[in-house]
Structure 1
């Protein structure tokens, strides 16, 4: 049974901490990017050291007070906002944003969990290296949250998820003890790997306070192309041809639908459109090549092969780094265009690659039987992650569809589940998908997850109600 973070508890906690570590919550602490869900908190804790985090967690464990961890606040599944139940303590690591060390010869960087992702990238670049986790929110998301949610992004095809880029973590466990796992080792088979248990757990099993991250040497040359493809099946065929030609040198392979470009033309008219007449489907192909290789030549050869095979009909190959950035600006602006239009329901899904060409038209047909809607399907085709978002028909608002929102999501998720996919590819479960996880999750896995949660956090103080249902008081 949990207790609220009331005045008596906060007075006691303040006595264990240096001054200015507890502040009243501000609006920025209690909201999420889409503005649909709002949280509550008795106070916001702003520790500066791991020892202070440990003291905060220990005090909450003793008093049975819930803790909601907060990174950059960019999560899209409500993991950072607790809008119901007893007042929790919000724990923000924004002041723990230091660089603890960088080892270029080892391709390793040690950072605190509150460091903004873009700052991690900049520190790596200053040392002649690259941290290859790229997200639209990289200017505000923090590395602790990236790891807690196992963030994906646009380069998973080549470099993997956040989990694959982490060598070790330091974390405070639910009893206030500190797991000192901040190692720089590629190989360490000394028992259970708590790193992989805590990564992706969304702050429900421990508070990540620092991480040891993999760096890579930047490619000698980079290039990108936009290619109009016949349909998603043609895009998948083109992906296979790109990988057959270039193997692991294909960094990204993004699928985009015309609806996304139409939304950008409507909401961001100053953004330069790549095609005079947008195709129904297009892909953004990104390469990172070895010394002596010419990205433009490789992309032109891929386009020629695709054209001969009837897969592509038009294309633009970046002739400079600036033009490559312009291509990526189109792709990375699509979520903002979506936000300005206002979705009825957004779905972060993953599918086996061969199922994607069948799923996309099947889902469109199924949704068309429910309502007149617009669909913006785009995402990371190379790793099977689609953002399948539903919008009101022209001239209508998303409020017109309130009664259908649940049925729309159920339709999409039922089709994903039937195809052997995932209802959460890279955003996590948070609080918004807890019921969905109960519906679609494997019973044995759910039972094991509950057992792990109970063993590590018997009082349920860490992010109560996220990922798994919170016990009722």
Structure 2
């Protein structure tokens, strides 16, 4: 049966674009963090929507599972196959249309995020989604996980940046919902079924995305403070004084900053003395005459007078702005130098972020006093990467054996505050049992009904988001 399927796949995309040798498939079978390794009978690289549809039809006819895969930069195992065929979207990399007047760009799913940003920039517009992996992650994956990034505060998640999608369904049909309309009240919004579904309902092959005026003025500040409660008060001041020009507000703690200063090439401390925590703040405007620096200075002066900011620096050039951002963007990568991390990508209402960090750190330290907490993230939209670094005197294996215990501490607290156990990374394999524990049972029942209606064979990225063992639950 597999031989016949491989023949059909090669007929669909060409011999050169169907890989079956282990060394060829290897990059598609390993997740970057090393937590998951997959298996597959083949990796297919279709070059068009029609070729994706042909591959899906061949798999459906053979009853073989399909794992859609973009740039393979995911953090929860959502792109790891468990047998079956990987359909890699990297060859779907065309910019189909740029419409500056309608402020839209139509792109194929395999375009890297950086390529979409560049195409928008060349048209004098901005595509605001920004992630540390933007040079390798693909827009189809960003849509499938509803990625967030550093500019959610101003522009929203990927879902908010999409107007329409083109999707190959599990039976090989193509849903053309590539609408460039801001208003379309003709029934169910099918687009939102597939954004955030992690490839479990179909394969996004193209999308119409929103563009925005290109910022003509930008100012970045780095402010030292005592901790999360003061940072939240600083955010409130900036939000009131800067309004829509407040593009980003990131929270960092000293331990995380020291990781970057120690291990990232060229990193320098912008301040003369260390502080327990920091706020990374960006204001931007399409108005070249907007006096953002004065706006930032006035807001920080108010925070200093209130005893909230202990010291602050404002970037005097794009190079200095980028250096300040590098302290934040390099943090996840530099954590690898400190051994295993137990990572939580969570969100709580913005008004409870400081309370969550304080209580969460205290509860985790009570459980393991020598654990090193490293919370950081998108403070202004309530999304915190609540990462826990292993004790210096503990092995990675021993520390990771406590993953479930830390999940219970952190996720129980998050849910008690009306939060979410996944803010921007998705569910994948990592959190599917956690989703079953915390999600409203009525919502889970609807998930199963939708999955059964669209993918009755259960072939589309099986085992992700919805745990197989929960399939028969009401």
TM-score range, shorter chain: over 0.9
Q: Give, in angstroms, the shift of residue 144 of structure 1.
A: 0.3
For residue 97 of structure 1, the aligned residue among 79, 86, 93 is 93
CA distance in 1, matches of 2:271, 2:392: 23
- Report SS of the residue matched to 2:125: coil
Superposition pairs for residues 272-287 of structure 1, below 5 Å?
272-287=268-283
Asked whether the 8 Å contact 2:335–2:341 carries over to 1, the reply is no
Q: State the match for 1:160 in structure 2.
A: 156
Q: State the match for 1:113 in structure 2.
A: 109
Q: State the match for 2:28 in structure 1.
A: 29
Q: State the match for 2:256 in structure 1.
A: 260
Q: Give, in angstroms, the shift of residue 275 of structure 1.
A: 2.2
- Report SS of the residue matched to 2:278: strand
- CA offsets 1:201-234 (integer angstroms, 9 cap, x no match): 0000110000111011112200110011222111
CA distance in 1, matches of 2:128, 2:119: 12
CA distance in 2, matches of 1:7, 1:393: 50
Asked whether the 8 Å contact 2:13–2:45 carries over to 1, the reply is no
Distance 1:109 1:140, change over 3 A: same
Distance 1:295 1:65, change over 3 A: same
Q: State the match for 1:13 in structure 2.
A: 9
Distance 1:261 1:460, change over 3 A: same
Structure 2 gaps of 5+ residues are none
For residue 439 of structure 1, the aligned residue among 432, 437, 440 is 437
Q: State the match for 1:70 in structure 2.
A: 69
Superposition pairs for residues 186-335 of structure 1, below 5 Å?
186-268=182-264, 270-289=266-285, 290-335=287-332
What do you get for the CA RMSD once the two structures are aligned? 1.6
Q: Give, in angstroms, the shift of residue 308 of structure 1.
A: 0.7
Answering whether residue 386 of structure 2 is matched by residue 388 of structure 1, we say: yes
Distance 1:268 1:397, change over 3 A: farther
Asked whether the 8 Å contact 2:283–2:292 carries over to 1, the reply is yes
Q: State the match for 1:370 in structure 2.
A: 367
- Report SS of the residue matched to 1:41: coil
- Report SS of the residue matched to 1:105: coil
CA distance in 2, matches of 1:66, 1:394: 42
The answer to which of 189-198 and 110-119 deviates more is: 189-198
CA distance in 2, matches of 1:12, 1:270: 51
CA distance in 1, matches of 2:166, 2:181: 14
- CA offsets 1:304-323 (integer angstroms, 9 cap, x no match): 00011111110001111111
The answer to which of 63-72 and 275-284 deviates more is: 275-284
CA distance in 2, matches of 1:459, 1:93: 22
Answering whether residue 347 of structure 2 is matched by residue 350 of structure 1, we say: yes
- CA offsets 1:28-85 (integer angstroms, 9 cap, x no match): 11111111211111000100110111111111112211000100000000001134xx
For residue 452 of structure 1, the aligned residue among 450, 453, 463 is 450
Structure 1 gaps of 5+ residues are none
Superposition pairs for residues 34-49 of structure 1, below 5 Å?
34-49=33-48
CA distance in 2, matches of 1:149, 1:400: 30
Q: Give, in angstroms, the shift of residue 151 of structure 1.
A: 0.4
- Report SS of the residue matched to 2:16: coil
Superposition pairs for residues 140-159 of structure 1, below 5 Å?
140-159=136-155
CA distance in 1, matches of 2:64, 2:358: 48
CA distance in 1, matches of 2:71, 2:155: 23
For residue 131 of structure 2, the aligned residue among 127, 131, 135 is 135
- Report SS of the residue matched to 1:369: helix
- Report SS of the residue matched to 1:184: coil
Q: Give, in angstroms, the shift of residue 16 of structure 1.
A: 4.1
- Report SS of the residue matched to 1:243: helix
Superposition pairs for residues 397-436 of structure 1, below 5 Å?
397-436=395-434
- Report SS of the residue matched to 1:68: strand
CA distance in 2, matches of 1:68, 1:40: 10
CA distance in 2, matches of 1:305, 1:275: 20
- Report SS of the residue matched to 2:214: coil
Distance 1:214 1:449, change over 3 A: same
CA distance in 1, matches of 2:130, 2:274: 26
| TM-score of the superposed pair, with normalisation by structure 2 | 0.95
- Report SS of the residue matched to 2:367: coil
CA distance in 1, matches of 2:400, 2:51: 44
Q: State the match for 1:465 in structure 2.
A: 463
Which consecutive segments of 4 or more residues in structure 1 shift more than 3 A? 15-19
| TM-score of the superposed pair, with normalisation by structure 1 | 0.95
CA distance in 1, matches of 2:275, 2:215: 31
